Amino acid sequence: MDVLSDAVAAMRNGRPHSSRTVNSGSWGVRFPPGPGAGFHVVVQGTAWLIPPEAETAAADPADPVDTVEPVEPVRLRPGDVVLLAHGTGHGLAGSPDAPLVDAVRAPDGSWPTPPNREPVGGDETLLLCGAYQVSRARAHPLFTELPPFVHIPARVGAHPRLRAAVDLLGTELADPQPGSDALVPALLDTLLLLMLRTWWLTERPDRSTGWSAALSDPVVTAALRAIHADPARPWTVEELGAEGGLSRAAFARRFTQLVGRPPLAYLTWWRMTTAGRLLRADDTPLRTVAQRSGYASEFAFAKAFKREYGMAPGRYRKGA
């Protein structure tokens, strides 16, 4: 078990969607804010990512109100990947000043997919785009620490696993074969993990603090893996520190500094997150959920759950 896999599993729900599009001429699409997450990959040609602040500034450059620091459009070149983990509204266009047409979601949450065709000219842009359904009710701090958009530029020889996943997804979307309906969602989940891993471990500008540092720190990572592998175990700070070979006091300081909360506080938070996921998933008996979450009795579990979620476990399950 590892924290990145668990963080994604805790938030992901529903079926991801993807499309392969070819654009030419003066084109632009405006994606409204939404509860999910999305990505864009430029396969051929170029595109511009238009953050909401950049679009507002372009629409009214004489507006004297200066409440948000302007964000310039970002040029995307072949091989570039952009992840919008927070469902941030944005535009995607062939040029920074192109007019944007609103995209409208289908009832199932997917974006409309235009007819599939191959690019025929050098001025056309081939894109792979996708959307994930995520729940932010218990967003892992690893996600909340992400910027509004993550830009992973293409570089020769860099990120071979990410490149391979993009190539496989593009091939399946361009030429569906038997099994593609199952393969594409699996590739989308793989791509999400690889985008996050690439950002946290290689692309983040400052990897000295926060979750980027936590995922790179062998002592903290060992403790996190222990917690996620067996959240029901009655861990002590001393035992968690021993997982990484540090004394109790030194480990507690290091863990708190990087993760943002003390070890046992994080353990309790993850136990409750695990319990919420189990209650949403199926009709597992409440006693079993309590045991898997580290509680000896249903009463103790229900009391802790209500303190965390503001409602009883049974009510939470019915609402989900």
195 and 249 share one domain: no
197 and 222 share one domain: no
Residue 277's pLDDT band, with cuts at 50, 70 and 90, is confident
Is 212 a member of any domain?
no
Residue 171's pLDDT band, with cuts at 50, 70 and 90, is very high
Measured N-to-C along each axis, helices 160-174 and 180-198 cross at an angle, to the nearest 10 degrees, of: 150
What value does the mean pLDDT of the chain take?
A: 86
Residue 69's pLDDT band, with cuts at 50, 70 and 90, is low
Is 278 a member of any domain?
yes
181 and 258 share one domain: no
The arithmetic mean of pLDDT across residues 195-224, rounded, is: 86
Q: What is the CATH number of the domain that holds 197?
A: 2.60.120.280
Is 210 a member of any domain?
no
18 and 133 share one domain: yes
Q: Which residue has the tokens 């070149």?
A: 77
Residue 104's pLDDT band, with cuts at 50, 70 and 90, is confident
246 and 179 share one domain: no
Q: What is the pLDDT of residue 65?
A: 42
Is 208 a member of any domain?
no
- Give the domain extent around 128: 3-203
Q: Is 314 helix (H, G, I), strand (E, B) or coil?
A: helix
Q: What is the pLDDT of residue 23?
A: 87
Q: How far is CA 103 from CA 34, 80, 89, 98, 113, in A?
A: 12, 22, 11, 15, 11
145 and 177 share one domain: yes
The arithmetic mean of pLDDT across residues 264-273, rounded, is: 94
190 and 225 share one domain: no
Q: What is the pLDDT of residue 66?
A: 45
**DSSP-derived secondary structure for 32-81:** PP-SSEEEEEEEES-EEEE-HHHHHHHH-TT-----S-----EEE-TT-E
Q: What is the pLDDT of residue 320?
A: 63
Give the tens place of pLDDT for each residue, 27-41. Answer: 999 998 888 899 999
242 versus 112: the higher-pLDDT residue is: 242
252 versus 55: the higher-pLDDT residue is: 252
197 and 246 share one domain: no
pLDDT tops 70 at residue 57: no
245 and 191 share one domain: no
252 versus 109: the higher-pLDDT residue is: 252
225 and 85 share one domain: no
49 and 143 share one domain: yes
Q: Domain tally for the chain?
A: 2
Q: What is the pLDDT of residue 213?
A: 85
The arithmetic mean of pLDDT across residues 75-93, rounded, is: 94
Residue 111's pLDDT band, with cuts at 50, 70 and 90, is low
Residue 59's pLDDT band, with cuts at 50, 70 and 90, is very low
pLDDT tops 60 at residue 12: yes
Give the tens place of pLDDT for each residue, 221-237. Answer: 999 999 999 999 999 99
Q: What is the pLDDT of residue 58?
A: 46
105 and 254 share one domain: no
Is 171 a member of any domain?
yes
pLDDT tops 70 at residue 161: yes
The arithmetic mean of pLDDT across residues 301-318, rounded, is: 91
pTM listed for this prediction: 0.81
Q: What is the pLDDT of residue 109?
A: 58
Give the tens place of pLDDT for each residue, 240-251. Answer: 999 999 999 999
What is the residue type of 263? P
**Which of 176, 203, 230 represents a domain boundary (last residue)?**
203
Q: What is the CATH number of the domain that holds 222?
A: 1.10.10.60
Q: For the chain, what percent of residues have pLDDT higher than 70?
A: 88
